[in-house]
Amino acid sequence: MHRPDELRRLAEDFLAGLSFAAELGRLEEALRYSLLGGGKRIRPVLCLATGEALGREAVDLLPAACSLELVHTFSLVHDDLPALDDDDLRRGQPSAHVRFGEDVAILAGDALLAEAFRLALGYASPLVARELAEATLGMIGGQYLDVTTDGDLDAAGLRRLHALKTGRLLRAAVTTATAVGGLSEQERAPWRSLGEDVGLLFQIVDDVLDATGTAEELGKTPGKDEAAGKVTYVSLHGLARARELADETRDRVHERLAELPGDTSVLAEIVDAVHDRRA
Amino acid sequence: MHRPDELRRLAEDFLAGLSFAAELGRLEEALRYSLLGGGKRIRPVLCLATGEALGREAVDLLPAACSLELVHTFSLVHDDLPALDDDDLRRGQPSAHVRFGEDVAILAGDALLAEAFRLALGYASPLVARELAEATLGMIGGQYLDVTTDGDLDAAGLRRLHALKTGRLLRAAVTTATAVGGLSEQERAPWRSLGEDVGLLFQIVDDVLDATGTAEELGKTPGKDEAAGKVTYVSLHGLARARELADETRDRVHERLAELPGDTSVLAEIVDAVHDRRA
């Protein structure tokens, strides 16, 4: 089994070596700019670690793992657009539309999504690509909620929003691995719950960091949620309680991991890293 | 075998009855607005007719056929955006971003693309979805060429642009049907060439109509290509020669059809309708 840092390097190398469709021509530059500009690679790492916990080789997981990162990057490129979150800074660099123009950024996002499916469709079975499609649609539904609700969410609404916007793709990091691993629908259920809780943990920590981090640490503009009047775990529960929620969620994930078959020690490390991250 | 009008009605009914992912919530309204606002349904009809020529039932073809229409609609919604073609009128109605706002239009386009893959992934084999991914990437590459070249194309460049932007999805209308039909790679080759020529014919006629049609006939703003200084078959060859090229392409398609196995009479009707259309 690989350690989290090794898994991240495997994902980075795979992403850097990806061949895009020749027909994209010079648009490829915009895809690579957004895809290779850093990032924690939490989704591919989580997918790879889940697959290894299930006894699969990382090489068999890499296309599924990296298809998730392409979908994630597609969502960042489109969410940063002026008509959506209007964010000029991403991973410490100019956003795609600042660097290449809005037209190219829209097309680059579209192409990243299509390339994600092309990658997931390399498997003989359509199961991985199906998980990817479901997760992408959930994520888009979450972003739609985000842009159409103005500070009028309660705790259940906020949780629903994040379960979709952030949670579905993180859950898919786990479920695509179980699809590659050939698990039955019944065997997948506890893994799916695990993926959901990792997504929740990720989002609570994100909200805490948005309220407390610096631009230098985050590589993006902090305090944007508060400035936009968005409901977050911090605005809803206060900073102290949001931190407690993060701790409680982390502890619940560890309990779930202890009950799952296989060696989940690397997954436990990843969960702690998600909890403790500074950016 | 069904006549073209019957195939179109089958496609319309299937599209109208499509269930979208529940997670999209009210975004579904924007998807339906763009998807069900008319249109010739040339891609689904071509796919269904190809499948029937190969001896398959329309019902087996409908998911593939309509996944193409979803990709086509996604491309219209995004291409109409202010940052791209900036078109306020589509199929005689306000474009999606005029009706719902730019943010919702971007997300609706994204969702249409993801729903297209979900639909194509309903087949046991990933072949249909693979054809869809390849075609989508080619189409995006064509749109990228379109927004980044300013009147500096020669005839070969123009043909390349349209082979990608319009041709790939029309070709996929034929190749997804051959995928559903279980044809071998070798058996598919002549069908692929057929699809390419239908795409070429479609685009030449489109350019002629843009130069000669009225907004009422077209359901969109005419003369936009000329106003934008875009190279078209008309600007490059003149109107008379563009019309001759359309005739020559139609004739070549009929020759191809005569050489293919199966009853291609409905396909021949469709080709004539593409050539003779007024909008």
The dotted CATH code for A4-276 is 1.10.600.10
pLDDT of residue B214: 64
Q: How far is A150 from chain B (nearest CA, A)?
A: 14
Torsions phi, psi for A219 (to 5 deg): 75, 10
Tens digit of each residue's pLDDT, chain B (279 residues): 899 999 999 999 999 999 999 999 999 999 999 999 888 899 999 999 999 999 999 999 999 999 999 999 999 999 999 999 999 988 889 999 999 999 999 999 999 999 999 999 999 999 999 999 999 999 999 999 999 987 678 888 888 998 999 999 999 999 999 999 999 989 999 999 999 999 999 999 999 998 887 665 656 666 666 666 777 899 889 999 999 999 999 999 999 999 998 899 999 999 999 999 887
Query: How far, in Å, CA of B277 to CA of B63, rounded?
Result: 26
Token duo for residue A211: 């309220």
Of B83, B129, B142, which has the smallest distance from its Cβ to A126's Cβ?
A: B129
Report chain A residues whose CB lies below 8 A from the CB of B132.
117
CB proximity A138 to B under 8 Å: yes
Could you tell me if B48 and B61 are in contact, meaning their C-beta atoms sit under 8 angstroms apart?
yes
Q: Do B126 and A124 touch (CB under 8 A)?
A: yes
Chains A & B: contacts with CB separation below 8 Å: 152
- Inter-residue contact A42 to A72 (CB < 8 Å): no
Please tell me the predicted confidence (pLDDT) of residue B210. 86
Instruction: Determine the length of chain B.
Output: 279
Please give the average per-residue pLDDT across A234-245, as a whole number. 93
**β-bridge partners, A89:** A94
Per-residue confidence (pLDDT) for residue A157, from 0 to 100: 87
**How many CB atoms sit inside 10 A of residue B38's CB?**
11
Does B19 lie at the interface with A, CB-CB under 8 angstroms? no
Q: Does B117 touch chain A (CB under 8 A)?
A: yes
- Mutation choice for B interface testing from A19, A23, A139 by most B CBs within 10 A: A23
CB contact under 8 A, B126 and A130: no
Cβ-contact B242, B233 below 8 angstroms: yes
Calpha distance A12→A14 (Å, rounded): 5
Q: Exposed (0-12), middle (13-18) or buried (19+): which is B240, by Cβ within 10 Å? A: exposed
**Lowest-pLDDT range of A127-136, A141-150, B60-69, B126-135:** A141-150
Domain extents in chain B = 4-276
Q: Whose structure tokens read 């990057």?
A: A73
Q: Do A118 and B110 touch (CB under 8 A)?
A: no
- The reported pLDDT for the residue numbered B224 is 67
What pLDDT is recorded for position A73?
A: 97
Say if B195 is an interface residue toward chain A (CB within 8 Å): no
In a 13 Å sphere around the CA of A99, the CA atoms on its Cβ side amount to 19
| Token pair belonging to B5 | 């009008």
Chain A, residues 198-237, CB within 8 A of chain B, namely: none
Cβ within 8 Å of residue B73, ≥6 positions away: B34, B35, B39, B112
Whether A219 has a pLDDT exceeding 80, the answer reads: no
B143 touches chain A (CB under 8 A): yes
Are B147 and A104 in contact (CB < 8 Å)? Answer: yes
Chain B residues within an 8 Å CB radius of A117: 117, 129, 132-133
Which residues in chain B touch residue A104, judged by CB atoms under 8 angstroms apart?
144, 147-148
Per-residue pLDDT, averaged over A109-124, amounts to: 98
Which band of pLDDT confidence, cut at 50, 70 and 90, is reported for residue A218? low
Closest chain A residue to the Cα of B123, Cα to Cα: A126
Q: Can you tell me the mean pLDDT for A125-149?
A: 95
Residue A92's pLDDT is 84
Question: Is B118 close to A130, i.e. CB distance below 8 A?
Answer: yes
Flag whether pLDDT at A150 surpasses 70.
yes
Q: Is the pTM of this model over 0.90?
A: yes
Q: Classify B149 as helix, strand or coil.
A: coil
**Phi, psi for residue A188 in degrees, rounded to 5:** -75, -25
ipTM at complex level: 0.94
B89-90 vs B93-94, strand pairing mode: antiparallel
Contact B189/A at CB under 8 A: no
Q: Is A249 on the interface with B (CB under 8 A)?
A: no
